[in-house]
Amino acid sequence: MNFENTCMDNDKEILQHLNSITDREWLDVVDKLTTYVHFKLKGRTLFGAHSEQNLGGNPVDYYVDEAIGKLFSLEWKWQFDKYSLLEQLQRVVGSMISTNVEKFKTKKGNITLMEEDKLISMEKPEINDYDVEYYEVFKKALEECSKDDEDLQLYVMALDECISFEEMVTATGFEKKKLYVLQKKMTRRVTTYLETNKELIR
């Protein structure tokens, strides 16, 4: 009983800390978390574990909203004496990303994860022949889906050459909001392209 009371008191304290965050502080945290998620998902949202099709919505919005929701629902306990709010949310996002990758692997069986999980990772793991073939399909899809739009062509170039969302902003000269719009537009185009050219990924 004492243990249960201690847990309840801790949960109550967590919620009090969350509710004490000002609107201005929340806006700052959400902005920084959004940038963090963009960096984590760089080049990995067109299809696969972190795609709009798999997650049911904009990948960045999904991870940001879900992470915040998990703190307020106490599914994840904010260790406020150890981590800042932003740091705790980043830990939640990292866990969610790993979990979704494992779920996608299970769902797809032996199908290689696209979205450059292996091809654009900082660790630069070995790439087998099947990965290379799949990567080429991905690159062709990007090229085909951007050839009639100069902004998308610039977005694709930045996606390939930059290692962070902030670098993409600098390279393209676009505001963050415009890059978000282009990302969503490209996601839809590539998804449609692959659905109508299924023979390319068999």
CA-nearest of 18, 148, 133 to 78 is 18
Indicate whether 135 pLDDT > 70.
Answer: no
Indicate whether 37 pLDDT > 60.
Answer: yes
Query: Alpha-carbon distance 75 to 160, whole Å?
Result: 36
Indicate whether 9 pLDDT > 90.
Answer: no
Least confident residue range of 39-48, 95-104, 105-114, 137-146: 105-114
Indicate whether 4 pLDDT > 70.
Answer: no
What does the DSSP assignment read for 118-162?
TTS-TT-----HHHHHHHHHHHHHHHHHHTT-HHHHHHHHHHHH-
Average confidence (pLDDT) over 84-93: 92
CA-nearest of 47, 13, 25, 31 to 197 is 47
Confidence (pLDDT) at 200: 61
CB burial class (10 A; 0-12, 13-18, 19+) of residue 147?
Answer: exposed
Average confidence (pLDDT) over 174-181: 81
Indicate whether 164 pLDDT > 90.
Answer: no
Indicate whether 89 pLDDT > 90.
Answer: yes
Indicate whether 90 pLDDT > 70.
Answer: yes
CA torsion, points 103, 123, 142, 182, in degrees to nearest 10? 80
Where in the sequence is the domain holding 83, given as residue range(s)? 2-201
Confidence (pLDDT) at 167: 75
Q: How many domains does the chain have?
A: 1
Query: Alpha-carbon distance 182 to 151, whole Å?
Result: 8
Query: Alpha-carbon distance 44 to 121, whole Å?
Result: 10
Q: pTM for this one?
A: 0.55
